[in-house]
Structure formats: C-alpha cells, structure tokens
Amino acid sequence: MKTRFKKTFLFIAVLAVFITACQPGKVKTNPAGNIVSETKQSSPDPEEAEIKTAVENFLIAAGNYNIEVMDEMISEKANLGIAIFRDGDWKNSVITINEYFERVRHRELEPYYETVNEYIIHVNEGQIAFVWADAIMCKYGVPRTNNIDNFTLIKEDGDWKFLNLSFTNRQLPEESRKYNSEIFARSYVQAWGSKRPDFVASYFAEDGSIRVNEGEPAIGRDAITKFAEGFMTDLPDMIVQYDSLVSKTDGTEFHWTLFATNSGPGGTGNKVKVSGYEFWQLDEKGFIKNSQGHFPTEEYNRQLEFGTDN
C-alpha cells in the first residue's frame, strides 16, 4: 500500500510539472543567465488557494514555535517525518505531533522564517489534499537550508487539518548563505506575531536599542523583550505586515502596518490598523543596533478607544 501511494503521488507530481512546462509563455533569463520559461498565470483555484493559505499560516506558526496555533491546525493523530542530510548521510526520524510539541516546550528556541518557492497541490474530491512545497529556511536574514515539505491535509468538520507532515532538509552551499535585508525584515515582522517577545529582541544586537517617537529607549535585549511584551499583552492577536525597505545614506527605513484587536487586560475590544516605520542602523552582522520608531500616536490612541474607520 505504501509503495502504491508513493508511485501514485510521484506520478501526480511529475504530471503536474509536465503540464506546467507545456503551457505557452515568454522566454526569459534568470539571474544566473540560464534560459527559463515564463508561463501565463491562470486564475487560481479557490480550493487550492485556501490550502496554500493554510500551509503558509502553518509555516508562520511553526517558525514562531506557536504550539497553540499549530495545535488548532493539526489533527491530533498527525505524525511528523524528518529526513536530514548531513556529512554525506541521511538521518531520518518519525514522531507524533504531540511528541514534537513536547520537545518544543523543553528546548531553547530561535525563530526561523520559511519561504516557499514552488507549490504542487492536488485535491481529491475536496476532502484530502496533498501538498509538495520547495522552501528555503532562513534565520536572521540568512538562507540556511532547502526544505522540501510534504503535507497531507484532510477535511475535519469542514476545516482543513494537517494529517501528516514531513520534510527533507539539506544545507545550502556556502555561496547561497548570504545575508538578505528583506528576508531579515520579513522574519522580524513574523516575530512580532509570535507571542514570544524574546523572539523580537533576538533581532537586535546584544546592546541594541529601540525607541518609539519621543519615548524613552529600551536598551539591551532584556529591555527590548519587555517593550515588545507590552504590545503583545495589549494586542494579543497582533499581526505586523511588511510593507517596504527604503535605503538611506545613514541607515534603512523599515515600513510596516499593524493589524490588531485591543483585547488585552482592560482593553476596549476595538480593532486597530496603523502604519509606521522604524529607522534602522544595523551592526556588522546585520542585527539591529539602533531602531527609531515612528507612528501616529494620536491616531493609534483614537483607534484604541473608538476603533478603526474601516
């Protein structure tokens, strides 16, 4: 049965790649100078789009080690298969999802950011979905490994749940492991939604600082952890959206938009949406040495009291 399943899934994956390759399109060159085809994009299938969103939300929760969110998305009977290639050899393991959660609770953790380059999604009768995802795992702006993620999802009470999760993991060649400021910024905003304020602080240098408008600066990772904890307490469902990076002669502007509900202790329950930016000066390793935050305080306070207009 396992052999038949593997052959069937391999046939589906190969067929999907073949069909994609046969679509008409323009020809262009990639950064390495190789010729590749650019296919015309068809309208996305709503069901596949829903599954893709579920996978991306799961990868965010996994990168933040947010057990509460992952637990809601995964079937309690799920297994996790891991195949890691190191020193010319594969090291494989299979554990239950609850065993994985238990390991997370007892480990010292660092956030990671996983971005998917390519998806292949196959849905059976709207009830079971198979997802193949070619992804890059990054830490603090540096791509580290190539992960080929495989997910099986099943409908449970009308919602997609992850039934099986597995991935292969290979280290990227040294020349590919270069610091990328945009990946760093996207990882940083993911950390703000982690409910782990120490994850936010980990993007700063040991003696780094952050200051918002004319407030007192928080200096050092412990103080930055407390600073981030204040926002996470007041806005427990906060999500920070990456908008852009703007290079300046003396630093970098990181522009963001915050979405949240003021549902913390004594909160009003009102929705908040506000945009701003941090002016960064980075150290030699790419961590934040100094951050000067700017956002409309009066509008933010107004929304806390009365909510957004949209």
pLDDT tens track for 89-140:
999 999 999 999 999 999 999 999 999 999 999 999 999 999 999 999 999 9
For residue 4, is it within any domain? Answer: no
Beta bridge partners of 97: none
Domain end point (choices 144, 176, 208): 176
Residues 50 and 172 in one domain: yes
The string of pLDDT tens digits covering residues 199-251 is 999 999 999 999 999 999 999 999 999 999 999 999 999 999 999 999 999 99
Q: What is residue 76's predicted lDDT score, i.e. its pLDDT? A: 87
Among residues 160, 176, 192, the one where a domain terminates is 176
pLDDT at residue 7, rounded to an integer: 47
pLDDT of res. 43: 63
162-176 pLDDT, tens digit per residue, is 999 999 999 999 999
Give the structural domain span for 57. Answer: 44-176
127 and 219 in a single domain? The answer is no
Confidence of residue 14 (pLDDT cuts 50, 70, 90): very low
C-beta atoms surrounding 92 within 10 Å? 11
Tell me the percentage of the chain whose pLDDT exceeds 90. 84
pLDDT tens, residue by residue, 127-163 = 999 999 999 999 999 999 999 999 999 999 999 999 9
The pLDDT assigned to 309 comes to 74
Tell me the C-alpha distance between 269 and 230, whole Å.
16
pTM: 0.83
Q: Do 149 and 210 belong together in one domain?
A: no
DSSP collapsed to 3 states, the chain:
CHHHHHHHHHHHHHHHHHHHHCCCEEEEECCCCCEEEEECCCCCCHHHHHHHHHHHHHHHHHHCCCHHHHHHHEEEEEEEEEEEEECCEEEEEEEEHHHHHHHHHCCCCCCCEEEEEEEEEEEECCCEEEEEEEEEEEECCEEEEEEEEEEEEEEECCEEEEEEEEEEEEECCHHHCCCCHHHHHHHHHHHHCCCCHHHHHCCEEEEEEEEECCCCCEECHHHHHHHHHHHHHHCCCCEEEEEEEEEECCEEEEEEEEEEECCCCCCCCCEEEEEEEEEEEECCCCCEEEEEEECCHHHHHHHHHHCCCC
- Residue 310: the pLDDT is 61
